[in-house]
Amino acid sequence: MSSTESQKHALFIAVEVDPSVAGDKQLAAKLAEVCPVDIFAAGESGVEIVERNLDECVLCQLCINAAPPGTIKVIKLYDDGAVLGA
């Protein structure tokens, strides 16, 4: 899902998953496990974003740390699009 798509459903954050890892089912399971507010789900096609949970993000960076560097971006919409951890 692109950040533009995420922005349609969230007020505070958007999440970008790099296409190179979006279909990785192992990563999807790992993200679903580490996210304390269930933003990620392991779907049949890989990483899925649970849009209704986007604004529950606590900015813990567990998803960023669980994924290969640079493949997950949490974008703070309330902070002029600043990227968490950048």
- Average pLDDT over all residues of the chain: 90
Q: Residue ranges per domain, the chain? A: 3-80
Q: Please, are residues 12 and 57 in contact by the beta-carbon 8 Å criterion?
A: yes
- Report how far residue 39's alpha carbon sits from residue 77's, in angstroms, rounded to the nearest whole number: 16
In this predicted structure, which of 25-29, 30-34, 59-63, 76-80 has the lowest mean pLDDT? Answer: 76-80
User: Would you say the pTM of this structure is higher than 0.75?
Assistant: yes
Q: Where does 3-80 sit in CATH, by number?
A: 3.30.70.20
Strand partners, 43: 46
Which pLDDT tens digit goes with each residue over 14-32? Answer: 999 999 999 999 999 999 9
Rounded to 5 degrees, what are φ and ψ at 38? Answer: 55, 45
